[in-house]
Amino acid sequence: MNNRTQTQHSYKTRAKRLPKLISGNRQWVGLLYISPWLIGFLILELYPLMASLYYSFTDFTLLRKPEFVGLKNYIQMFTKDHNFWNSVVVTFKWVIIAVPLKLTTALLVALLLNKKLKHINFYRTVYYLPSIFAGSVAVAILWRFLFMREGLVNQILSAVHIPPVDWLGNPDIALYTLSMINVWQFGTSMVLFLAGLKQIPGDLYEAGRIDGANKIQQFWSITLPMLTPIVLFNLVMQTINAFQDFTAPFVITKGGPAKSTYLFSIMIYDNGFKYFSMGYAAALSWLMFAAIITLTAVLFWSSRYWAHYEDGGK
Partner 1 sequence: MRFLRKSSVYALLSVLGFILVYPLIWIFFGSFKTNNDILGSIKLLPAEFVLEGYRLGWAGSGQFTFGHFFLNTFQMVIPTVLLTTFSSYVIAYGFARFRFPMHKILFALMLSTLMLPPTVVIIPRYILFNNLGWLDTYLPFVVPALLGFSPFYIFMQYQFLRGLPKELDESAVMDGCNSFKIMTHILLPLSKPALVAAAVFNFMWAWNEFFSVLIYISSVSKYTVSLGLRMMMDIDAATTWNQIMAMSVLSMLPCALFFFFAQKFFVEGIAKSGIKG
**Rounded to 5 degrees, what angle do the CA atoms 162, 163, 165 make?**
115
> Does 34 engage in binding with partner 1 (CB under 8 A)?
yes
Residue with Cβ nearer partner 1 (1 or 281): 281
Nearer to partner 1, 11 or 78 (CB): 11
Residues from 45 through 64 that contact partner 1 (CB under 8 A): 45, 47-49, 51-52, 55, 62
Selected range binding partner 1 among 105-113, 168-176, 204-212, 306-314, rule: CB under 8 A:
105-113
* Interaction between residue 44 and partner 1 (CB under 8 A): yes
Which range of residues in 72-80, 162-170, 203-211, 235-243 is near partner 1 by CB under 8 A?
Answer: 235-243
CB 277 to partner 1: min, Å: 10
Pattern 70-89, binding to partner 1, x per CB under 8 A?
--------------------
Report whether 154 contacts 165 (CB < 8 A).
yes
Minimal distance, residue 264 CB to partner 1, in Å: 8
In this structure, the number of other CB atoms found within 10 A of the CB of residue 311 comes to 5
The yes or no reply on residue 292 touching partner 1 (CB under 8 A) is yes
Q: Which of 268, 275, 279, 224 is closest to 244 using CA atoms?
A: 268
Burial string for 182-215 (b: 16+ CB within 10 Å, else e) reads: bbbbbbbbbbbbbebbeeeeeeeeeebeeeebee
Angle between helices 187-199 and 120-128 (to 10 degrees): 140
Count of other CB atoms within 10 angstroms of residue 82: 8
Among the listed ranges 21-29, 164-172, 209-217, 301-309, the one in contact with partner 1 (CB under 8 A) is: 21-29
Does 246 interact with partner 1 (rule: CB under 8 A)?
A: yes
Instruction: Yes or no: say if 119 and 259 are a contact pair by the CB < 8 Å rule.
Output: no
Q: Considering the rule CB under 8 A, would residue 22 count as an interface residue with partner 1? A: yes
Provide the 3-class DSSP secondary structure of residue 33: helix
Among 89, 96, 162, 195, binds partner 1 (CB under 8 A): 195
Which residue, 35 or 172, is less far from partner 1 as judged by CB? 35
Provide the minimum distance between the beta carbon of 195 and partner 1 in the complex, in angstroms, as a whole number: 4
296 is a contact residue toward partner 1 (CB under 8 A): yes
Residues 6+ apart with CB under 8 A from 216: none
In this chain, which of 204, 222, 240, 295 binds partner 1, going by CB under 8 A?
Answer: 240
278 binds partner 1 (CB under 8 A): yes
Q: Tell me the H-state helices in the chain.
A: 2-22, 25-40, 47-55, 72-79, 82-113, 120-128, 137-147, 152-159, 174-183, 187-199, 202-210, 215-218, 224-243, 247-248, 264-269, 278-306
What is the secondary structure of 83-115 as a DSSP string? HHHHHHHHHHHHHHHHHHHHHHHHHHHHHHHTS
Three-state DSSP state, 68: strand
Asked if residue 242 binds partner 1 (CB under 8 A), the reply is: no
Instruction: Name the residue nearer to partner 1 (CB basis): 82 or 115.
Output: 115
By CB under 8 A, is residue 37 in contact with partner 1? Answer: yes
Q: How far is the CB of 58 from partner 1 (least distance, A)?
A: 11
> Which of 277, 276, 280, 267 lies closest to 72 in space, CA to CA?
280
Q: Which is nearer to partner 1, 160 or 210 (CB)?
A: 160
Subset of residues 123 to 182 that bind partner 1, contact rule: CB under 8 A = 123-139, 141-146, 150, 152, 155-156, 159
Question: What whole-number distance in Å separates Cα of residue 7 and Cα of residue 1?
Answer: 10
Q: Is there binding between residue 222 and partner 1 (CB under 8 A)?
A: no
